[in-house]
Copies of this chain bind each other. A is one copy, B any other.
């Protein structure tokens, strides 16, 4: 595992836990954690339960006892590390978004295709049981043909003009602000749930607080969006609205998607991630309504691996579920998804929306 901050903690937890709750074709050993600073890497090793720490990625990539490389670093190093790992013949798991920009993403996806190792992207919310269930329901036709998507990802941690800046407010490190961080989730979830492909987008961005003090006490310009919204047309006639913001007071992790079809609707919200809302035009007419499905009963996806009916899961379990499926894919012939192609598709939409926001025109999504 390369990187050991917030995302590293979530991934490491998945590596430790996956074998305890899933019946897997082999055992996983969290072996080496790689960082830039030896002391911090060693502290992370102890805390996160790895056997070794290292600051020499190249050396680690040459080892035979390392089969999977997990990229848990900020966005600007995903491409470099993932490419090196693929060239070294490793399976690769990569934090989202796949890359800083479309060009990088294309190179990564092309290489992944040649490499024939399994590559996975940590779009972990796909494996939230309620989201998986939503995908199954849409696929089996419960809401008919999809017409509209309505997705928002609202947070509030930058509402305060005095909140500190960080790498997340620097264009050079993260590419964009709320957009790449949050809209990436919405776009991938839309792909996952509906199977639709974006045709074109019209975006709008805003940076409400133009300068922020960083942790080092210096005030620097904020060159990424605080909020970015866009309209979308999909191939085949469906339409959608998307919005990401870090400035919505009271919304902590309000990642919500509603899908309207010809015969029903579905809604999911990360703040109540164990619940799914489903509406269907089914008989009798006086009994129709959105139903709130508690998605931790035995028939629900992944539920049987965890606790008895009605005992809810939290944020981190989505990573464990993702890892379980990834590990299983290593023994099978099926390509794991989301992979770099999925990441590339997300990146193409992110890029188009950002370009649209800057040019003030509708932009076609490259495919």
Chain B residues near A264 (CB-CB < 8 A): 249-250
Q: Is the CB of B299 within 8 A of A286?
A: yes
- Chain A binding surface SS class: mixed
Q: Which of A98-106, A187-195, A305-313 contacts B (4 or more CB under 8 A)?
A: A305-313
Q: Of the candidates B12, B249, B285, B290, which one forms a contact with A250 in the assembled complex, judged by CB atoms under 8 Å apart?
A: B290
Q: Of the candidates B233, B252, B293, which one forms a contact with A309 in the assembled complex, judged by CB atoms under 8 Å apart?
A: B252
Binary CB contact string for chain A from 142 to 158 against chain B (1 if under 8 A, 0 otherwise): 11000110101001010
Q: Of the candidates B155, B273, B360, which one forms a contact with A312 in the assembled complex, judged by CB atoms under 8 Å apart?
A: B273
Decide yes or no: A152 and B150 within 8 Å by CB, A260-B249, A291-B290, A296-B252 being known contacts: yes
Decide yes or no: A315 and B315 within 8 Å by CB, A150-B152, A294-B252 being known contacts: no
Chain B residues near A28 (CB-CB < 8 A): none
**Chain B: CB-nearest residue to A49:** B20
Interface hits, A170-224 → B, CB 8 Å: 202-204, 206, 208
Q: Is the CB of A250 within 8 A of B289?
A: yes
Asked if A248 is at the interface of the complex by the 8 Å CB criterion, the answer is: yes
A316 to B307, CA, bound (A): 9
Q: Is the CB of B206 within 8 A of A239?
A: yes
Q: Is the CB of A288 within 8 A of B250?
A: yes
A147-B247, A247-B260, A250-B265 given. 11 additional CB < 8 A pairs? A6-B308, A137-B287, A150-B243, A202-B231, A204-B239, A230-B231, A248-B265, A273-B312, A291-B292, A311-B314, A360-B361
28 contacts between A and B (CB under 8 A): A6-B308, A10-B307, A143-B249, A147-B206, A147-B208, A147-B247, A155-B310, A206-B237, A206-B239, A208-B237, A229-B241, A230-B231, A249-B279, A250-B289, A251-B265, A252-B296, A254-B310, A271-B294, A272-B272, A278-B289, A289-B294, A290-B291, A292-B292, A311-B314, A311-B315, A313-B314, A314-B314, A361-B361
